[in-house]
Amino acid sequence: MIAVRHRADGRETQTMPNPKRRHSKARTSRRRAHDFLVPNSVSECPNCHERKLPHRACPKCGYYKGREVVEVKESK
């Protein structure tokens, strides 16, 4: 919400609201308690035993749920 203030010369100005009181350290810490990064979960490919993201085709061999779904180019 934008506050409207009247100046001495009769014009109106708009200002953004500012906090009335300072937030305590405990309140700030409680708000930031869930701001940490979570590591990605990684599963093992049953075909080539490489690490891969769950519910996705393996980037190394192209297999998903026991069958080849993506053709993977051989690297030199």
The per-residue pLDDT for range 18-40, each reduced to its tens digit, is: 889 999 999 999 999 999 999 99
Is 76 a domain residue?
yes
Reported as a pLDDT band with limits 50, 70 and 90, residue 11 is confident
Is 65 a domain residue?
yes
pLDDT > 90? residue 74? no
pLDDT of residue 76: 61
**Number of structural domains the chain divides into:** 1
Higher pLDDT, 75 or 36: 36
The pTM score is 0.53
Domain carrying residue 72: 40-76
Residue found by looking up tokens 């490919």 in the block = 45
**What H or E segment, with its residue span, contains residue 28?**
helix 25-31
Is 61 a domain residue?
yes
Is 62 a domain residue?
yes
Is 4 a domain residue?
no
